[in-house]
Amino acid sequence: MNTKYEQIFQSFTFPSGVEVKNRIMVAPMTNYSSHDNGEVSEAELAYYKERSGGVGTFITACAYVSKDGKGFPGQFSVDDDSFIPGLKKLAETMQSNGTKAIIQIYHGGRQSPPELLPDQQPVSASAVAAEREGSPVPRKMSEEEIQNTIKAFGEATRRAIEAGFDGVEIHGANTYLLQQYFSPHSNRRDDQWGGSLENRMKFPLAIVQSVKQIVAEHSKKPFIVGYRISPEEGTNPGITLEDTLQFVDKLADQSLDYLHISVNTFWNGSFRDKNESESRIIKIHEAVGSRVPIVGVGSLHTPDEVVEALEAGIPLIALGRELLMEPKWIEKVEAGQIEEIRTTLSRKDQEKLVIPDPLWNRLMNVKGWLPVVD
C-alpha cells in the first residue's frame, strides 16, 4: 500500500466505545430489492456480502419503522418482531471480516408514495405538499401519531439490537419525516412541535432520546447511534445553514456517535447563500466536531480525494456510488491496485458486481448518477 493512504486505514473508536478498523463507511443506498412484505431478500444479502469485509462500517438502505412511513418499493422493514430473523441474517452478512453493520431507520412522511401505504394517505408535520409536481397533500399528524412514531423509532432500535446490528443511523435527512418537522416549509404547526426553530427541533430530538433510551435498556455492549442530516433546503421557506448550525449544536449534546452530513459534493458551499463558499461539512465540523464525530460524503471518488477530506479534519468518510461500481474499493487501495479500481459501470457487469435486478434497472435508466458504459 502507498504510504500516503495510511490515514484511510487508521482505526477509529466512536464515543460509545465501538472501534472500527478503518475510516471508510458505505453510505446508505436504496436498492429496491426487498420482498413486498418488507422481508430482506436473498438478492439483497448477496449484494451486501459482496461489499462487506473491507470497509470499516456499512450503513444499510433505510428501513421503515412503521407501515405509514414506507417510502420505496422493495424497501425492507423494521416495524415488527417478525422481521428480526431476516434482519439477523443481514447483520451477520455485513459483519464479515470485522465490518460493523449499522441499520438506517426512517419514516418517509409526506415523501411516501400513497400506493405503498395501508390507507393511501401520507402523513407529515402539517398538511403541506412537497414542491414537486404531483406531490400528494399529507395529513397533519395527531399528537397520538407523533407519540407512536417516536416509540416506533425506539422499537426499531430494539429490533436492531436483537438482530445483532452494531448500531443504528437515524435518518433525519433528504426531506423525509424528521427533516419535515425541522423544516419551516413542511412544518406550519402552532403547537409544541412547530413554529419556532426550537420547537421544530423537538420531534427529531425526541426520537434521538427514544433511541438512546432503548439502547441503554436493551444493549449489552457498546452500540452506535448516528444521525444523518441535510444542511439546507431549496424551498422558501426552507432550512438554512444557520438553522442547521443551531440544530447540530443541540444534536452535539445528545451523546451521539456521529453526525452524517448528506450533501452531493463534499467541498461545495451553500446553495442558498452564494456568499457562503466554505464546505458545509467543514463548517459543521468546525462548529461541533470537537463534541461529535462528523461523517463526510459527496463525490469523493479516488483515494487521493478521500485523503484530502480526512486531512481537513473529518474523521470518517462515506462512499456510495464508488462501492456500487467497485465493491472491492478498499481492498484494492490496500493492495496498491489503484489503477484497477472501476470508475465506470459496464452494462455487462451486473453479475460480476452482484447488483440485484431492481437496482440494476434503475442504475441503467437514471441518467447522470453513474457513468454507464457499454
DSSP string, 45-91: HHHHHHT-SSSSEEEEEEEESSGGG--STT--B-SSGGGHHHHHHHH
Q: How many other C-beta atoms are found inside a 10 Å radius of the C-beta of residue 264? A: 9
Q: Are 163 and 15 in contact (CB under 8 A)?
A: no
Q: Are 282 and 250 in contact (CB under 8 A)?
A: no
Residue 176 annotated among the catalytic residues of the structure: yes
Grid cell listed for 141: 399528524
Grid cell listed for 104: 438506517
Going by C-alpha positions, the residue among 316, 287, 355, 309 that lies closest to residue 11 is 316
Catalytic member of 47, 106, 176, 258? 176
Strands (E), the chain: 12-13, 19-20, 24-26, 57-64, 100-106, 123-124, 139-140, 167-172, 224-229, 258-261, 294-297, 316-319, 345-346, 372-373
Q: How many other C-beta atoms are found inside a 10 Å radius of the C-beta of residue 315? A: 16
Q: Which residues are catalytic?
A: 176
